[in-house]
Amino acid sequence: MAVKRKQNRPEIALRRLERVLHEAEGEIPRALVRMPDDAVKETERIEESMRRLERLSWSEKFTMAIDPKTDGYMLDILSRDEDVGVRSEVARNRNVSVEILERLSRDEDAGVRSGVVGNRNISVEILERLSRDEDAGVRSGVVGNENVSVEMLERLSRDKDAYVRREVAWNRNVSVEILERLSRDEDAGVRREVARSENVSVEILERLKNDSDKYVRNIAIKTLKKLKRSNC
């Protein structure tokens, strides 16, 4: 008669870990990549989080996704929620990890990806990739991120979408060289943002005060007056 072998704690933990990972669609949360002894507590905490989420309403999950005090375990699970709104708020949460942002940066929904580019925890690598996103809203969000590089601004200043070019002209770190080119943009909205820029030169403003668009002319004149007062 075969003797049933008693399982030790690490073996039990690994079996439980397999079940948790299966429910998480096979993706391994970084927090679980530890020694088997630690996996016991980690899996228990994840399982409790899953049970807790099953009891929550949509509004409760949405509130948790927004709350910066929500822990990484719960954010990881919420980031896999079927609701776009919940995933979008996880992407914006200031407590979310780079690992979760990496996954959400590849979300099929542009709103979720837009949430990622607005997060201060985003890596330069993710920001660079999303600066080439097919959605103009995502690309414009990259321009607004404080970590956007000069190289990204240069490339996005030539974007096919006028709204993205407007965001570049509005960016406080935009160079005079880029503003010079954008001041000749075919889109009047882009030229208006150039005229408002705190980095715009007097030479550019002198030209824009004679622009074909009356709003561009008015903004350029006001900015020129402001510059002259500050130089007095």
Domain coverage including residue 228? 149-232
CA-to-CA distance for 40 and 34, rounded, in angstroms?
10
Domain contains 13 = no
Counting the structural domains of the chain, the total is 1
Q: Is residue 164 part of a domain?
A: yes
Whether 72 maps to a domain, the answer reads no
In this structure, is residue 225 part of a structural domain?
A: yes
85 inside domain:
no
Task: For residue 220, tell me if it sits in a domain.
Answer: yes
3-state secondary structure the chain: CCCCCCCCHHHHHHHHHHHHHHHCCCCCCHHHCCCHHHHHHHHHHHHHHHHHHHCCCHHHHHHHHHCCCCCHHHHHHHCCCCCHHHHHHHHHCCCCCHHHHHHHCCCCCHHHHHHHHCCCCCCHHHHHHHCCCCCHHHHHHHHHCCCCCHHHHHHHCCCCCHHHHHHHHHCCCCCHHHHHHHCCCCCHHHHHHHHHCCCCCHHHHHHHCCCCCHHHHHHHHHHHHHHHHHHC
Is residue 87, in this structure, part of any structural domain at all?
Answer: no
Return the CATH number at 189: 1.25.10.10
Only one residue has tokens 């837009």, namely 114
Whole-model pTM over 0.85: no
Question: Residue 179 falls within a domain, yes or no?
Answer: yes
Amino acid occupying residue 34: R
Over residues 22-33, the pLDDT tens digits come to 555 545 555 455
158-210 confidence digits (pLDDT tens)? 999 999 999 999 999 999 999 999 999 999 999 999 999 999 999 999 999 99
